Amino acid sequence: MTLLNSPTLDNPSAPESAIGRRAMIASMIDSQLRTCGVTADAVIDRMRSVPREDFVPAAARHVAYTDRAVPLGDGKFLAAPLVHGMMLQEAAPRLEDSAVLVDGGSGYLAELLRPLVGTLKVLTPEQALTAARGSAKADLIIIDGAIEQMPDALSKRLAGDGRVVCGLLQNGVTSLARGRKSGGQIAFMPLSDLGIPRLPAFDKPKGWSF
């Protein structure tokens, strides 16, 4: 759903509602991001520049900047602005990073991240479950959603001492989490409870119950 030539606020092809959009973006930044500690200049600049309404269905454009996830259909969501802001800030992407993003279905986070890293590979959740063949290891993996478990195939894409930022689903509660790879294993640390859309592809297998 990513629009390669989607209009930005400084693009003369932007729609006539650009003034209203500027006000909505300013409100999003001041009342949702900054008040919750998202203050990194690179994150604010990207979220100011990329129009969220270009990544949702036309009927949902009017709620693109509100503080909740926007349904996209087929069980996919555009996460709330705070989720993406906190993920990017925690990831602290660098221009020397080789990054992998597991897309939640909107394409928005990929558009935010792309100019902040050296290379970016975007995967669907289903692609993330399959083994990579001959690919360079990633320094950074961001998962645009909440997971119950990290698939082995995705873990193997991460370089030694590589880092992961994602949502973590534990006991029905989602939180922002960061992970670090050490000794071939990834250990996660939950950071703060946050409403993050779940990615069913990363659910733990359900066992039998009697």
Domain-located, residue 144: yes
Each residue's pLDDT tens digit, 56-78: 999 999 999 999 999 999 999 99
More confident residue, 51 or 8: 51
Domain-located, residue 128: yes
Is the pLDDT at 13 greater than 50, yes or no? no
| Domain span including residue 73 | 18-202
Cα distances from 67 to residues 1, 8, 46, 82, 181, in angstroms, run 21, 21, 18, 7, 32
Is the pLDDT at 45 greater than 90, yes or no? yes
Domain-located, residue 4: no
Each residue's pLDDT tens digit, 166-180: 999 999 999 999 999
Domain-located, residue 102: yes
For the segment 104-130, the average pLDDT, to the nearest whole number, is: 97
Domain count, the chain: 1
19/123 Cα distance (integer angstroms): 34
Domain-located, residue 25: yes
Is the pLDDT at 11 greater than 50, yes or no? no
Domain-located, residue 37: yes
What is the greatest pairwise CA distance in the chain? 63
Domain-located, residue 107: yes
Is the pLDDT at 208 greater than 80, yes or no? no
User: Can you give the pLDDT at residue 207?
Assistant: 63
User: Binning pLDDT at 50, 70 and 90, where does residue 7 land?
Assistant: very low
Asked if 161 and 86 count as a contact pair (C-beta separation under 8 A), the reply is: no
**Domain containing 73 — which CATH number?**
3.40.50.150
Domain-located, residue 3: no
Is the pLDDT at 183 greater than 90, yes or no? no
Is the pTM above the cut of 0.85?
yes
Average pLDDT score, the chain: 90
User: Binning pLDDT at 50, 70 and 90, where does residue 20 land?
Assistant: confident
User: Can you give the pLDDT at residue 84?
Assistant: 98
Share of the chain above pLDDT 70, in %: 90
For the segment 179-189, the average pLDDT, to the nearest whole number, is: 91
61/104 Cα distance (integer angstroms): 18
For the segment 84-113, the average pLDDT, to the nearest whole number, is: 98
